[in-house]
Amino acid sequence: MKRVITIALVFAAIALAATRVYDIEPYKNVNAWSPYQGYIGQTFIATCDSFVWADFFVGAPNDTANGGHYNIEIQESPNGLWVVRGKAQAGISYDYTQAFFTERNPNAKVIKGKTYLLKVTHSGGESINFYYNPHNPYKYGQIMLPQGGAGPVHPWDLAARIEGMGLNV
């Protein structure tokens, strides 16, 4: 009986294993600043059933004197309905800062194959020093910057990672 339960648990763990939905490393020293009270974002295609955490590579800290945190959320694209939210530590420099998603929208559902937006803002509206890859290694989405209102799309990819859970069968 123990063997059957163990085998069942192993298969369940494999079927519900975490999966990397998005993973782009920083490229050299390629970075920029978001506008004041703006955001940075990255569109991507969901390959999971739920999102667990996300992080992004932050450069120079902007708020060592003011405190604050980064708000990281995933939204449906293009309608902007938020799916999950979390907070990441600010004041970190030249490293990833991670947010576990602690809030889930009961009115939103993650659908594999659908486009979503990873959106990062600062709690105090401060600019964010972010890293990106200008060679567009992720072909299914692009970085979003709120310049001129609607946010033109650049052929870059944000240095970030998104982890999800899903049925891998």
pLDDT for 169 beyond 50: no
Helix (H, G, I), strand (E, B) or coil at 57: strand
98-130 tens-digit pLDDT: 999 999 999 999 999 999 999 999 998 888 999
46-88 tens-digit pLDDT: 999 999 999 999 998 875 556 789 999 999 998 999 999 999 9
Q: Kindly state the DSSP code that residue 8 receives in the 8-state scheme.
A: H
- pTM of structure: 0.84
DSSP 85-138: EEEEESS--SEEEEEE--EE-TT----TT-EEEEEEEETT----EEEEETT---
The domains located in the chain, with CATH, are 19-165 (2.60.40.4070)
